[in-house]
Amino acid sequence: MSTNRMTNGAERAIIENMLDRNREALIETARGLSEADARRRLVASLTTPISLIKHAAAAERIWFQRFWAGLAESECDGYSNRDEGTFAVADDELLADVIAEFERASERSRAIAARFDLDDTKENPREGTVSMRWTLLAMSEEFARHAGHGDILREQIDQPVTGRPEPSVAAATTKPHRR
């Protein structure tokens, strides 16, 4: 799926477009990696390319399935607790499967969100009163931030630093990962 950038139109369409583009941007940071590279720990946290996508799928379920749809954990299509477990990827899970899981969770989120107006609100114990508008924007922010993390990890995987070249050499030879 490739969502074209929308810069004009109805508010909801623009917000949903931005969210979909950030979902896709996150996926693109991991697409094409080997299974080993997708799991490489390059930072102290549990953050890896595959775990970012696993976490995003859980965020979809937490906010849309659990919070907005009011589903019990057992009714969700995967992990949906707000804790570090959202980053847990089983040894037998393949990158393609985790991407597909995120895409399925996103599709379900779209269907749930469509049942609500942007101004509909619910009480959240952590956030207070939140609207569907806020939720869509918060998810867009979340996925954009994680796509940035993924870009940095991908750059480290694709072009590992073996030494510190002189700044003029680095500027001429280093190219950032592009989506």
CATH code for the domain of 22: 1.20.120.450
Say whether pLDDT at 71 is over 70.
Answer: yes
Residue 57 placed within a domain: yes
pTM of the predicted model as reported, rounded to 2 decimal places: 0.86
Q: Is the pLDDT of residue 82 over 50?
A: yes
Nearest to 31 by CA among 99, 92, 106, 97: 99
CB of 95 closer than 8 Å to CB of 35: yes
Average pLDDT, stretch 94-116?
A: 98
Which residues, including other chains, have CB under 8 Å from residue 28's CB and lie 6 or more apart?
147, 179
What is the pLDDT, as a whole number, of residue 172? 46
Domain membership flag for residue 5: no
- Tell me: pLDDT of 173 over 70: no
Is 4 within the bounds of a domain?
A: no
Residue 1 lies in a domain: no
pLDDT digits (tens, 9 = 90+) for 9-35: 899 999 999 999 999 999 999 999 999
Does 122 score more than 70 pLDDT?
yes
Phi-psi region at 128: left, alpha or beta (left = phi > 0; alpha = psi -120 to 50):
left
Domain membership of residue 30 as a residue range = 11-173
Count helices and strands (H / E) in the chain.
6, 2
Question: Is residue 166 scored above 60 in pLDDT?
Answer: no
Q: Is 2 a domain residue?
A: no
Query: How many independent structural domains does the chain possess?
Result: 1
pLDDT tier at 164, thresholds 50, 70, 90: low
Quick check: 99 and 23 in contact, CB under 8 A?
no
Do the domain assignments include residue 3?
no
On average, the pLDDT of the chain sits at 90
> Has residue 62 got a pLDDT over 60?
yes
Give a yes or no: residue 178 inside a domain. Answer: no
Q: If you ran DSSP here, which 8-state letter would residue 119 be given?
A: T
Average pLDDT over residues 156-166: 71
pLDDT at 177 over 70: no
